[in-house]
Structure 1
Amino acid sequence: MFEYELQRMNHAELVREAAAQRLTHEAAEAGGATRGLRLFGRRHGNHGTEGKVDGGDRGRFVRAA
């Protein structure tokens, strides 16, 4: 019976930890939702979202078919 009670306490603790972790994750998503939208499509100067590509090593790879 003692082992059963220990298992129940352990299970309850794990459920509490999971709930706290889920709440933290949801709060981070809610707080970062507007921030994430701004950062995702942000443009730097005249460059697009992908940035500038350096063409200095063009001879390094074979040409794709």
Structure 2
Amino acid sequence: MFEYELYELRAAELRRRADHERLVRQARQDHRAARRPAPHETPEAEAHTERRRRHRFTRAA
């Protein structure tokens, strides 16, 4: 019975830690998103929609 209680305590601690890490990750994402402007607000956002993307490397023969 004692091992089961230890198991339950460990599982609860792991769940709490995972929830905390998830919250930290979400806060970091929100902070990064707040620092950069939205794509539709930047003047160059529309300039890149019409142009095709250049390939970084030339084609192999």
Would you call these one fold, judging by a TM-score over 0.5? yes
> Which residue, out of 12, 19, 27, partners 2:16?
12
> Which residue, out of 40, 46, 50, partners 2:45?
40
Aligned to 1:56: none
Aligned to 2:33: 29
Normalised by the size of structure 2, how large is the TM-score? 0.60
Overall identity of the aligned pairs, in %: 9
Structure 1 or 2, whichever has the larger Rg, is 1
Structure 2: tracts of 5 or more residues without a match: 53-61
- Tell me the matched-pair count: 46
Bigger proportion of residues as helix: 2
